[in-house]
Amino acid sequence: MLSDVMEDYLKAVYTLEREHGPPVKTSTIADYLDVTSPTVTSMVEKLADRGLVEREKYKGVELTPDGETVAVEVLRHHRLLEAFLADHLDYEWDEVHDEADALEHHISEEFERRLARKLGDPTVDPHGDPIPGADLELPEHGDTEVLADHDEGDHLVVARVSDRDTDELRYLADVGVQPGTELTLREHTPIGMFVVGIDGEAVHLSERVAETLEVRPAGDDADGDQEVADA
């Protein structure tokens, strides 16, 4: 049996591998989990002894196939729980992450199957993160780019938001930015602020948000809305 902390580390390494590619530096894991590098080193040694990660000195850590299986299973639990909390228990999307973190280690596979069936086997959680299927494969949702990589005038639809900062999530909820929201990038100001148009209203987003907010081009049927947003 693995401890909750071990599973948290495996999930963190998996997430960082997908963001930056393997191997993942121990300092990067430490920053992500808000712990010290010696703490990470100690845990990595334990995980390596169990055959769940491989560590190459001076390069970093990489999940083994067994380690990835555990990580994706925990991630499936987490994102299904987030969807359930938001859809059926009226949690706000800035509240579901911590609750799911606490619960994800303690549900049975039968509970997971029933939860997925109750939710209609969703493919994304409230933040737009893909939910691994029962086969532990991630669903395909097409290519995305971050808002910061787009040009002024581009008409886009939000695909995914970062769930790492609750204050940012509250702000995005207040201004109407969530998965499925259509927007037009109006301006990238000299001080690093991104101004977008949503339903004719100007919304200001920080550079940090723009660098994590994943978007894809909006469909041709949204051209009329673009004219409104640009007005």
Q: What is the pLDDT of residues 169-194, one digit of tens each?
A: 999 999 999 999 999 999 999 998 99
Runs of H (alpha helix) within the chain: 4-20, 26-33, 37-49, 65-88, 96-103, 109-119, 166-175, 207-210, 223-230
- What band does 10 get if pLDDT is binned at 50, 70 and 90? very high
**Res 220: pLDDT:** 42
Q: pLDDT tens for residues 150-174?
A: 999 999 999 999 888 899 999 999 9
Provide CATH 1.10.10.10 ranges for the chain. Answer: 4-63
The per-residue DSSP string of 174-205 comes to: HHT-STT-EEEEEEE-TTS-EEEEETTEEEEE
CATH number of 145-230: 2.30.30.90
Question: d(Cα 225, Cα 230) in Å, to the nearest integer?
Answer: 9
Residue 215, SS3 per DSSP = strand
User: In which band, very low, low, confident or very high, does the pLDDT at 225 lie, cut at 50, 70 and 90?
Assistant: very low
Residues of the chain with CATH 2.30.30.90: 145-230
User: The pTM is what?
Assistant: 0.84
**Phi and psi (nearest 5°) for 199?**
50, 40
Class of domain 4-63: mainly alpha
Q: How far apart are CA 191 and CA 42, in angstroms?
A: 42
